[in-house]
Chains A and B, each alone.
Chain A
Amino acid sequence: MSHGTVWKYGDNVNTDVIFPGRYTYQIMTPEEMAKHAMEDLDPAFAKGVKPGDIVLAGKNFGCGSSREQAASSLKAAGVQAIVARSFARIYFRNAINLGLAVLQSDEAVDALETGDPVDLDLARGEIRSAKGTFRFLPLPPSVLGLIEAGGLIEYTRKKLEREQE
């Protein structure tokens, strides 16, 4: 369970505006990446975002490039989850592989606005707010396991360790 504030955006938020190409092939620390999160979409985001906040968006969030920083920069900035009507497929995989929750709920996207305080309960599949409680399909156990392990790298590292024993 986590508490945070909503940042709401529209449809087709692409990976170039989440994390611009001019930084994509520079190797950065998570803190450096966080400073550029959403740079070309909302310059106020990186300055204002706090740990536990959630990003709300319309259709096809994360379309475009396969660049993983579009997910890792948001995670590094403290974003707890992205709630959208739908996700682009590479973004969806990347986010899960990095341990960032990606959730689908039309009702939450319809009702909530930027600045609304919310509580997120991943295990129960609920977003609670003064405007109501919104349910999303709980993530399947395998995906939840990946997120709980801290992402695919940790998950794979442990798996490879077990195989070597």
Chain B
Amino acid sequence: MGKTLTEKVLGRKAGRDVQAGEVVSVSPDYVLSHDNSAAIIKEFLKLGVKKVKAPEKIVIVLDHIVPAADEKYAQNHKSIREFVAAQGIPNFFDINAGICHQVLPEQGFALPGLVIVGSDSHTPSYGALGAFATGIGRTETACTWATDEIWLRVPETMRIDLRGRFRRGVFAKDLSLKLIGDHGAEMANYKAVEFAGPAAGDLSVGSRLTLANMSAEMGAKNGYFAPDEKALKWLEGRARRPFSAVASDPDASYESVLAYDLDALEPQVACPHTVDNVKPVSAVAGKPVNQVLIGTCTNGRLDDLEAAAAIFRGRKVHPAVRVLVIPASWQVYREALASGALAALVEAGCVILNSGCGPCLGAHEGLMAAGEVCLSTSNRNFQGRMGHRDSEIYLASPATAASTAVTGRITDPREFS
């Protein structure tokens, strides 16, 4: 019987033939952490070893609170910089790089066939390029630094076959929300999600990153696309090391298969306070908002800023709305400067912030007061996540976000495009 991509990647690492359900112990190719490295270092120091086992595999990206919002965060960053220097960790990105889930693909760490673990729940993003990538906790990250080893259960796979084409005003974010709304926030708990079918190859790498990123909100262990010509071309000039791409066999075994027709999809919005509380934009249109956030590891790439800029050109942000724009990385920031997208956003009245996670996780930069409402392109709308517990978050695509920013009320982007 054939194998899935996940079975092949983990089997190659384990040095034997494996199938879903088995537990393997593997030495990962990269171990990601971010600002939480400060807490991981504290755990690592309890282990009684002086040096990390494989410094070249550790990738640390400061992105959650950059620049530091107060002296406690500054102390965290300082302790991380000192540890990086003392341990000789070569892959360190300071506050002028971007969100880890954009930096790792751009900088050529996220490669087909690799095993990447990260102490961040959106680590599955790298599956967009055919890696096996999954989120772990801080304690486990500390132990992996010390041992260069981690156990993983080989997950069963859910395949999602895509056909057709997105209509005007509809994007990968809308598809991800539709999937989660239809099947619930634990639709793929413990499982791998393979995005396949004739339309998968048509999707841009940016769209693939959005979908693999949002597989975390399906509960998935990893989410991925088969690495095709488009992915390999995108990696040209970026890949840091040789790699050997693998894809699922045609006769691989899937636990379940879903099919979605992109032509039938309309813009979607996830309503408070869960990601699976999803409605078509028409059902919530007209709801007034106080803030709009365009950015994050889900939707802060050039495609996303361009989609927003297309709506903002010749229009202004509604006077009752604050719009925060955060390019996902400095590379995206520079590209959006060059393309004119940033100029259009600033002209319209958007506030541009440093590349990073911004207010998405509720630590700084644009948190909400009681009773306020934000429409965000991020991935989570949990109660209290972006400020006061009596504030509300709606999730949508960058086009829906920009349209909403212009009218001050949740708006169908097809009215503008």
In the complex with contacts A40-B389, A63-B185, A66-B121, A97-B383 CB distance below 8 A? no
Which chain B residues border A89 with CB–CB below 8 Å? Answer: 189-190, 219, 221
Interface positions, chain B 386-414, Cβ under 8 Å from A, are: 389
Q: Is B248 an interface residue (CB 8 A)?
A: no
- B139 touching A97, Cβ below 8 Å: yes
In the complex with contacts A88-B219, A90-B137, A60-B361 CB distance below 8 A? no
Q: Is A24 an interface residue (CB 8 A)?
A: yes
Q: Is B362 an interface residue (CB 8 A)?
A: yes
- B137 touching A157, Cβ below 8 Å: no
Q: Is B311 an interface residue (CB 8 A)?
A: no
Which chain A residues border B119 with CB–CB below 8 Å? Answer: 66
| A46, B343: Cα distance in complex, Å | 48
- Residue of B with least CB distance to A161: B48
Interface positions, chain B 31-78, Cβ under 8 Å from A, are: 35-36, 38-39, 42-43, 46-49, 64-65, 72-73, 76
- B65 touching A25, Cβ below 8 Å: yes
Q: Is B186 an interface residue (CB 8 A)?
A: yes
A48-82 CB mask vs B (1 if < 8 Å, else 0) is: 00000000000110011111100100000000000
- B65 touching A157, Cβ below 8 Å: no
| A16, B389: Cα distance in complex, Å | 10
In the complex with contacts A89-B189, A153-B43, A17-B384 CB distance below 8 A? yes
In the complex with contacts A27-B76, A153-B143, A16-B138 CB distance below 8 A? no
Which chain A residues border B65 with CB–CB below 8 Å? Answer: 25
Q: Is B136 an interface residue (CB 8 A)?
A: yes
Interface of B: prevailing SS: loop
Q: Among A27, A40, A97, point to the contact of B137 (Cβ < 8 A).
A: A97
> How many residues of chain A get a CB closer than 8 Å to chain B's CBs?
38
| A117, B4: Cα distance in complex, Å | 47
- B147 touching A156, Cβ below 8 Å: yes
Which chain B residues border A90 with CB–CB below 8 Å? Answer: 121, 135-137
- B137 touching A94, Cβ below 8 Å: yes
Q: Is A12 an interface residue (CB 8 A)?
A: yes
Which chain B residues border A161 with CB–CB below 8 Å? Answer: 48
A138-165 CB mask vs B (1 if < 8 Å, else 0) is: 0000000000000111001101110000
Which chain A residues border B49 with CB–CB below 8 Å? Answer: 160
- A12 touching B274, Cβ below 8 Å: yes
10 new A-B pairs (CB below 8 Å) besides A40-B389, A68-B139? A12-B185, A21-B363, A24-B36, A24-B361, A40-B384, A41-B383, A60-B186, A68-B39, A88-B186, A153-B139
Q: Is B106 an interface residue (CB 8 A)?
A: no
Q: Is B385 an interface residue (CB 8 A)?
A: yes
Which chain B residues border A27 with CB–CB below 8 Å? Answer: 38-39, 42, 72, 76
- B186 touching A59, Cβ below 8 Å: yes
Q: Is B146 an interface residue (CB 8 A)?
A: yes
Q: Among B72, B185, B221, B362, point to the contact of A21 (Cβ < 8 A).
A: B362
- Shortest Cβ gap from A147 to chain B (Å): 13
In the complex with contacts A153-B47, A160-B147, A93-B382 CB distance below 8 A? no
- A157 touching B46, Cβ below 8 Å: yes
Q: Among B36, B139, B221, B382, point to the contact of A14 (Cβ < 8 A).
A: B382
Complex A-B: 9 CB contacts under 8 Å: A14-B380, A16-B384, A16-B385, A22-B367, A60-B186, A66-B135, A68-B137, A156-B47, A161-B48
Which chain A residues border B363 with CB–CB below 8 Å? Answer: 21-22, 24-25
Q: Is B347 an interface residue (CB 8 A)?
A: no
- Residue of A with least CB distance to B68: A25
